Amino acid sequence: MKNIKSAEELKQKMNRIFAEMKTNPATPSAELQHFLDFKTKRDAMRAAGEVEPPSAMAQATQYARAELTHAMQGPASEADAAARLSICMACPDRAVEYKGMTDTENGVGWCTRCGCGSSPRALLTVKITLAGYECPLKKWSAVPGTGASIASAVDAVAGVARSIIFKATGL
């Protein structure tokens, strides 16, 4: 599947999908089948009262805010990070192996519901220390940081850079 680069491309794609749904619902193309699978999963989540994954824009916004808070306020306290970790460890939506990656360093893994993917910066051991980050399932919220420092600012900038590199290259 090719990535959508503009609102116009998205509109064209949706028009193609809806036209195909009307004319050829019995043998859907891969594009239509992908859409139908997504819709079925989303409808099941809604029916079960589950939280839907945030949009890519909402994810990017939350991540940017969390890194900005990390740079300006510092990390979450050890007590807050430990409390968050205990909640994550008991969560059924945590995975040590996720999207082709394995957390061999500490075995905590990633959240499978936030939509952040399997980048090293998306590891739960990182997220629990980002004071401005909130659990997508609302199990824990943002907390005040322990105090800004040059180290926390450098860590935040490096974290953003590593995330961009991972997204672009998979490395």
DSSP per position, 119-136:
-GGGSHHHHTT-TT---T
Give the domain extent around 156.
Answer: 56-169
**Same-domain check for residues 116 and 134:** yes
How many C-beta atoms surround the C-beta of residue 69 within 10 A? 23
Residue 17 belongs to some domain of the structure: yes
Helix (H) or strand (E) holding 165: helix 150-169
Quick check: is 18 in a domain?
Answer: yes
CA 29/CA 7 separation, integer angstroms: 22
Token digits of residue 25: 């619902």
Phi/psi of residue 102, each to 5°? -130, 130
pTM for this structure? 0.69
> Running DSSP on this structure, what letter comes out for residue 92?
T
pLDDT exceeds cutoff 70 at 22: yes
Whether 146 and 69 map to the same domain: the answer is yes
**Same domain assignment for residues 102 and 129:** yes
Confidence (pLDDT) at 1: 45
Where residue 3 falls among pLDDT bands split at 50, 70, 90? low
Residue 1: inside a domain, yes or no? Answer: no
Q: Taking 80 as the threshold, does the pLDDT of residue 157 lie above it?
A: yes
Mean pLDDT of the chain: 86
What dihedral angle (degrees, nearest 10) is formed by the CA atoms of 126, 143, 161, 59?
90
Instruction: Say whether both 81 and 20 belong to one domain.
Output: no
Residues 41 and 118 in one domain: no
Rama region for 55: left / alpha / beta (φ>0; ψ in -120 to 50; rest):
beta
139 secondary structure, DSSP code: S
Structure tokens at 141: 């919220």
On the question of pLDDT at 163 being above 60, the answer is yes
- Is the residue at 2 inside a domain? no
The string of pLDDT tens digits covering residues 45-66 is 777 777 666 777 888 888 899 9
